[in-house]
Structure 1
Amino acid sequence: MRAKREALKTLFTAIKECKVDSDIIDLLLLINSIKGVYTTSSCSGRVGIIEEPKIGAKPLSRWLIKKHFPITFEEAKNSLKAAQKGVIFLKAQPPIFHIVGENVEIGKKLHEIGLSSGFKYTTFKALSKERVLVEINSTEYLTVPLGGDGRILISDEYLEFSINLANEMLKRSKSRLPRLEKNFKKLKEELGEDELFYELNPPMARYI
């Protein structure tokens, strides 16, 4: 109960501060309104160009452009002008949700929902008697090296091809979100509403 209370406070604050991806707000509110279930972190999927000082140095990486919907060739091309130091990658990443079930049985249901909704990389990330963390994830990942140290080493034709592919992968992965929402509505009917959700922020009730 305490862990979910803190998770809900964090979520509601992030929504108010516009720090949550707008196209999954309703889904996140639905999930967190379910008894015995809450989210810890989520992303609705994204396409972007990132500059990494060296391989594996994620904390020091810098996004030149990052959007949660398709980007254009012109946007990508313009963002590359800001490249300075490190390896430049075009990336596409699918929606990802980290969801906690407050017992093993609920954790199993979350895992089943992810897989049945088409998120084939859904896995258990942590397991105990009191808490099961499930990562709902998909397969549409793309990483394309574009150059390094400010130099773009591919043609405009290949850049455009890569961007179109990245955008298509993002659209494909996001197309599963309605199915995921439908399955969580069924879970809510099964497990019931969590009064804590409405107690902490009653105005959020109008969204679900």
Structure 2
Amino acid sequence: MAAFGRRKAQRLARADGSRAGGVDGRVAALLRLLNAQPPFCTASSCAGRVLLAQLPAADSDRYEVQKKNCSWLMVTHELCVKDDVMTALEKATGDVVLKFEPFVLHVLCQELQHAQLLHAVAINSGFRNSGITVGRRGKIVMAVRSTHCLEVPLSHKGKLMVSEEYIEFLIHTANRKMEENMRRIDRFYNCLQLALKAGLSTNNSPSEEREKNPHVYVRRRKRKSVQKHGVCTSPKDRNEEIEREDDTESNVDIFGGIMV
């Protein structure tokens, strides 16, 4: 426990190395809530964004998934505006893609049951591609993520390849995804608050069942408490709503054997 606390203090004291240079305002309260809990330490996050990314002209003849050497012609963590996109495209000299990237969060967890709690909250909040990894030295990371992304090529070697009408359609689609992304962040924050309260209540009232199987007991209690308050519903109850946005978000792909 003491070792985790020391690592947490060191990590939180580091300078922010992201392009933005700071935490996205939309998730600041969520990160404060997590970091206020002894068993959690946030490692990286992005609230979600719409951006125009450009590969250098020299790389335009080959397609590869990469972040290095990319330049951002435009980026916003809010709803996208057409005029901003068109103005940015005028600066294009290489291959440009319009992207929507949803909320992502990585949290270091002290014990596996702490990661399982976050995983249950994430799934119930709509982040159905979330997962847990366990390193060789026991490092436990919970990743909150979804797959309702968007990536569409717009220009090639600086030449716009699509119509302005199609760009309007893409902006509308990206904004709908951003709105859903914002709703899921709010659900995650509310569900997490209730799950943490339920966990404290459970820890103060141990029972024979909890002693026999503490992880399952705590998890079931948290889920029941969250559902009673009407803030979160189970993934089964919310499938139709979520799957309108996520076509491929049904596969949790990391260490399925230890998932909740």
Question: Is residue 73 from structure 1 mapped to residue 82 from structure 2 by the alignment?
Answer: yes
Question: What per-residue deviation string (whole Å, max 9, x for no partner) do you get for residues 68-119 of structure 1?
Answer: 011111110000111112x210000111100111111111112111111110
Pair 1:83–1:148, CA change in 2 (3 A):
same
2:65 to 47, 56, 61: 56
Q: Can you give the 5+ residue segments of structure 2 that lack an aligned partner in the other structure?
A: 202-260
Tell me, in whole angstroms, the C-alpha distance in 2 between the residues paired with 1:125 and 1:174: 26
Question: 1:149/1:142 Cα in 2 relative to 1: closer, same or farther (>3 Å)?
Answer: same
1:135 alignment partner, one of 128, 143, 148 = 143
Instruction: Please give the TM-score of this superposition, normalised by the length of structure 1.
Output: 0.83
Tell me which of 172, 176, 199 is aligned to 2:180.
172
Aligned partner (choices 8, 18, 35) of residue 12 of structure 2:
8
Q: Secondary structure at the match of 2:147?
A: coil
Q: Pick from 19, 30, 34: which aligns with 2:33?
A: 30
The SS at the match of 2:68 is helix
Shift of 1:191: 5.2
Partner of 2:130: 122
**Corresponding letter in the other structure for 1:77:** M
Is contact 1:100–1:133 with CA below 8 Å preserved after alignment?
yes
Greater CA drift, 125-134 or 61-70: 125-134
For 2:175 and 2:134, locate their aligned partners in 1 and report how far apart those are by CA, in whole Å.
32
Structure having the higher strand fraction is 1
Q: State the alpha-carbon separation in 2 of the partners of residues 7 and 167 from structure 1.
A: 34
Shift in Å, 1:6: 1.7
Distance in 1 of aligned mates of 2:101 and 2:52: 11
TM-superposed deviation, 1:126: 3.5
User: Secondary structure at the residue paired with 1:60?
Assistant: coil
Q: 1 or 2 for the larger relative contact order (CA 8 Å, sep ≥6)? A: 1
TM-score when normalising by structure 2: 0.67
Number of the residue aligned with 2:115: 107
SS in 2 for 1:10: coil
The 8 Å contact of residues 34 and 191 in structure 1, kept in 2 or not, is answered as no
Shift of 1:7: 2.3
1:33-74 deviation line (CA, Å, top 9, x unaligned):
112011100000001111023422311101100010111111
The letter for the 2-side match of 1:46 is R
Indicate the residue corresponding to 2:228 in structure 1.
none
Query: What is the root-mean-square deviation of aligned Cα atoms in Å?
Result: 2.1
Report the alpha carbon displacement of residue 132 of structure 1 after superposing the two structures with TM.
1.2
1:96 aligns with 2:100: no
Count of residue pairs the alignment pairs up: 188
Amino acid at match of 2:87: N
The equivalent position to 2:47 in structure 1, one of 44, 47, 58, is: 44
Tell me if structure 2 keeps the 8 A contact 1:111–1:124.
Answer: yes
| Rounded Cα–Cα distance in structure 2 between residues aligned with 1:67 and 1:187 | 31
